[in-house]
Amino acid sequence: MTTRLNDFRKQLSQLLGEQRFLTDDRSRHHYGRDWTRFATPNPCAVALPETIAEVQAIVRKARTAGVAIVPSGGRTGLSGGAMASNGELVIALDRMNKVLEFNTIDRSLRCQAGTITKLIQTIAVDHQLIYPVDFASSGSSQIGGNIATNAGGIQVIRYGMTRDWVSGLKVVTGTGDVLDLNRGLIKNNTGFDLRHLIAGSEGTLGIIVEATLQLTKPPINPRVIVLGLPSMDAVMAVLQAFRAQIPLLAYEFFSELALNKVIEHQELQRPFAAVTPFYALLEYEHLGEATDDAIMAIVDYCMTERWVEDAVVSQNESQRRSLWRLREDISDTIARWTPYKNDIATTIAQVPGFLAQVDGIVAARYSDLEVIWYGHIGDGNLHLNILKPDSVPVADFQARCKAVSADIFSVIKAMGGSISAEHGVGLLKKDFLGYSRTIEEIAIMKGIKSVFDPDNIMNPGKIFDT
């Protein structure tokens, strides 16, 4: 250990105390990783600040010592964006977890960045409102990480992405300065909106320490229908049939293999007796008998067209939640196989051709492996998960999948799509950034980073190398 690093660690230990400055192996391993398993965590230490002033002090000391920083939220990321593998200091926001203000008039909530997403959702419901950005990891993810990755989830088709609900941000930059961005305003047309630069920046521009979130009225009596589909082509045909008649809250799809894994490991029941290659889950507002009539008419039409083979509709809240688990429990269920994840997207209109081309590559290149399809098909986002056999070393498996990803991403590039729809770029996808971004765009992104973080200490090596 160099003298400078040793001095740095002593300074942080004095600032935070032994309970909030951690150097033991267990803590470094726990805080130095996210849900990915394709890199080994190796941070120099973990800092657990409780105030914005402490975050500023830590960043300034790290800058002076030349120590890189990895911001850490709930560590639920899927692209290696929160991995600390090269002796970085992890700044974990776990203790900055307070809801600071609830504004009934503005329908807004101000909180620290370490606040668990589910707590925000619960508080909103207590006030007859909702925070509508929802996903499987909301019970453990933190709002700062959600914003840093511009998280999407299951209701993007109705409510959009995380950045659409952020009306204010406080951010500590790589120089230790605090930016108070937009301050909760609904309308503010005074030059560049830096708030939207921070959303999706994956901690490379600064550390989100506080957020003001907008809330909205909840949907009326939401219900779920699960449909059994004979083919991928039917997935989009059914979407078009329903969207023409019913405003949807969500439109998800998953494969029979995904359903099998969830049923086997989560002790759930099949939605109906029929076994079909794919399933669609739709959520909508139930406004009375007219809604029932419209839903049944669409289902009958889809069955006549042979796009649907069977269907079940939730009749109460318990059934709705059970049906949702068939889709939402997939990610947690398959985590035991260390899946290689492709989080890919194109415009909704291009999805049928996109599906056909990607499925062709998958069938040819992964014929000997289990492949789990699911995703937010209503907004053009597919999750393609390749399950690692127990007998195959992680490094070999990753190398094989990375080679196949190049072929898949070539299709995405040709269609003007995205190699990462909602999980971010992080470590795992930065080599492929050029498939979604031009050379000119990447150069501008690097230039922006140099302004926010002139010494390149904020999550270096994520998204791109500088």
Q: What is the pLDDT of residues 150-201, one digit of tens each?
A: 999 899 999 999 999 999 999 999 999 999 999 999 999 999 999 999 999 9
CATH of domain 99-214: 3.30.465.10
What's residue 396's pLDDT? 95
What's the CATH fold of domain 338-448? Alpha-Beta Plaits (3.30.70)
What are the residue ranges of CATH 3.30.465.10 in the chain?
A: 99-214
Band (pLDDT 50/70/90 cuts) for residue 379 is very high
pTM, full prediction: 0.94
What percent helix, strand, coil does the chain show, rounded to 5?
40, 20, 40
* Mean pLDDT of the chain, nearest integer: 95
C-alpha 108/C-alpha 114 separation (Å) is 17
- Please give the Cα distance from 295 to 301 (Å, whole number): 10
Residue ranges matching CATH 3.30.70.2190 in the chain: 222-331
Fold of 222-331: Alpha-Beta Plaits (3.30.70)
14, 86, 316 from 250: Cα distances, Å? 50, 40, 17
Say how many Å lie between the first and final Cα of the chain, rounded: 25
CA-to-CA distance for 198 and 171, rounded, in angstroms?
8
Query: CATH 3.30.70.2740 occupies which residues in the chain?
Result: 338-448
pLDDT band per the 50, 70, 90 thresholds, residue 1: low
Local confidence band at 95 (pLDDT 50, 70, 90 cut-offs): very high
| Distance in angstroms (rounded) separating the CA atoms of residues 71 and 429 | 19
pLDDT at 414 over 70: yes
The dotted CATH code for 3-95 is 3.30.43.10
Chain region(s) in the chain for CATH 3.30.43.10? 3-95
